[in-house]
Structure 1
């Protein structure tokens, strides 16, 4: 015969479903855990970029022992690198070009003033048949006839040449231009027994004599001058008469424009 278990009076009945409470709590906790994991796995790109830049800035602020380095990494910042020299030159180029243009303008004014002074001097001293002046692409060209400069076949300056050369010297010493001195002859051969063997030597000797006046007598800086002798290779008129040959025997002094 079975015995029935008897509950004591006032005792609560036994609950066989209490495990469900523990299970439900566990499931809830697992759900919360996965929700947290899921929320952490979603990356906000914008916030990530801000965070990345902030970290880089903080690293760059740190001191470094590397020369011209910055930050903990010691990297070389582009902004701190010395700028190439050409950068400053490019900035200065407009000013340099302006200055160069001003210098050329001033030089041209001086050349035109020289032209006027020489023209006035020729007219005042009635030298129209002996001295000619013209504005050429190369510069102010002053042509001196050998009539008052030299004796026939010689390269020694006459005393009659001193006033004209002295006037030119007073003008040349104020200029910074290069001055070219060129000797020219006619096509007649040099007589034997003279100082020069041919017209090349005569033309070079005459240009040298004019140069020595400016350098030795007038004391002008020799660096301003250059000379040449062309014999009869550059006539201004055909050598077909005595009058034309006279025109071809000359010394040309050109104050160059120094174009560059």
Structure 2
């Protein structure tokens, strides 16, 4: 008996279905990649025009981009085209997003710093108004100059009120002023107080106790520090004394009036919002 012919099933082979599914997945994958990229439309049109010219669809391929940098060699230019699109699209999208995030971050940081600066300045202004009123009540407003920054309120006393020329001992006439000033500090200075001594640029005479203006300014700041520690309830741990010598003038040292202004003691009262409080 003759063998029965093997029945052939109609339709395409089974592997084609798997291959078709794989192609669909790859298509979806590349569509997703493309949708997440950002591509400059104008540059893409230029690339498309150059690419088309390379295959002879349009004329004038040499004049497209970079004097034929992407054209003229046909298929051999595909690698350069891919690199160009990558740098123009995906890479550019990443750079743009990073730069935008950095710009937004810098802007937010600048706004926060500006807001903090304004808040600190308001705190100093409020403290300055209170101290100014207290100086008027103590009737020493003519002996003490008041100024303020975002960090502190500054009280300046001329050296001629506090010391004799070339000396660091407080004058007898200065004691009432320092006593009243100490009461103001006890009331309104809850944190750091910095005492700075300043001089003019006239060299010290030979044979004196102090050989230069640095030592003189430090000695004067220290004299005020010692007096406040011994005669007030201020915490010595909050008091800083420094000598600045002739290096921070506020007036012209070439005139008598300017040198007199430069010989001074500054007391800086840091406000509660200051980093040095």
Report TM bin, short chain.
0.5 to 0.7
Q: Does 1:204 align with 2:241?
A: no
The answer to whether residue 241 in structure 2 is matched with residue 224 in structure 1 is: no
Is the contact made by 1:156 and 1:209 (CA closer than 8 Å) also made in structure 2? yes
Map 1:121-136; keep pairs closer than 5 Å: 121=137, 124-125=139-140, 128=142, 130-136=143-149
1:248 aligns with 2:265: no
Work out which of the residue numbers 99, 113, 119 in structure 1 matches 2:130.
Answer: 113
The one of 195, 198, 202 aligned to 2:209? 195
Please give the secondary structure, in 1, of the residue aligned with 2:165: coil
CA distance in 2, matches of 1:213, 1:116: 24
1:165 CA displacement = 0.9
8 Å Cα contact 2:204-2:210 kept in structure 1? yes
Between the aligned partners of 1:121 and 1:195, the Cα distance in structure 2 is: 38
Correspondence 1:173 to 2:186 = yes
- Aligned 1:19-30 pairs, distance under 5 A: none
Counterpart position of 2:25: none
- Alpha-carbon distance, 1:217 to partner: 2.2
Residue 143 (1) aligns with residue 156 (2) = yes
Return closer, same or farther for 1:231/1:121 CA change in 2, 3 Å cut-off: farther
Greater per-residue helix proportion: 2
1:39-78 correspondence runs (5 A): none
Q: Which runs of 4+ in 1 moved over 6 A?
A: 104-108
Unpaired runs of 5+ residues, structure 2, are: 1-119
User: What are the Cα deviations for residues 165-211 of structure 1, in whole angstroms up to 9, with x where unaligned?
Assistant: 11111121233121110000000000111111100000000000000
Distance 1:188 1:208 in 2: 21
Once residues 110 and 227 of structure 1 are traced to their aligned partners in structure 2, the CA distance between those partners, rounded to angstroms, is: 22
- The structural deviation recorded for 1:161 is 1.0
Matched, 1:239 2:253: yes
C-alpha contact (below 8 Å) 1:140/1:256 kept by paired residues: yes
CA deviation after TM superposition for structure 1 residue 156, in Å: 0.5
Deviations 1:121-161 (A, max 9, x none): 57x45x63x42111223311110001120010010001111
- Cα distance in 2 for partners of 1:108, 1:247 equals 24
Gaps of 5+ in 1: 1-103
Return the TM-score normalized by structure 1. 0.54
Q: Distance in 2 between matches of 1:180 and 1:157?
A: 18
Equivalent of 2:227 in 200, 213, 217: 213
Question: 2:177 maps to what in 1?
Answer: 164
